[in-house]
Amino acid sequence: MVKKNKFLILRAHHLLCLQGFQGYGYDEPFTKNLSKIHKIFLKSKKLKLIFSNDLICKHCPFSTKANTKCFKKNSNVKYFDLKVIKILSLKPQTILSLSKVLQKVELKRRKLITLCKNCEWKSICLWFIKGTPSNAHSKI
């Protein structure tokens, strides 16, 4: 996953999800896996953002067994990945400094948060809640 002098490979929109993660998930295998990746994320120095399934997807109940595609209804994950990359003005498949990427995320929070408006996790996502004005949260 991540070795010394290596990097964490993440589906681009998972960059947002990991910042709000607090131990919830679709099922136990998914949540355990996400917890492990979250710990690695917090210690990571570098990452590479991609547009395909990553290690988080590997235990997702909506992923194919070969972890090649997402079958979640009404969700276009590739669209979210592309929007995250575009909003942050990043080049996909490039190894990036995690701290610099997170600075960009904070600077572009208002635009990024619009991607999460229909997310089923937004009511408990710490990243979403932090970036949403308290009077607007109940309307979302």
pLDDT score, position 37: 93
- What is the residue-level pLDDT of the chain in tens, covering all 140 positions? 555 558 999 999 999 999 888 888 889 999 999 999 999 999 999 999 998 889 998 898 877 777 677 777 666 888 889 999 999 999 889 999 999 999 999 999 999 998 888 888 888 888 888 876 543 333 33
Place of tokens 């979210």: 80
Secondary structure (3-state) at 10:
strand
Residue spans of beta strands (DSSP E) within the chain: 8-11, 46-50, 95-97
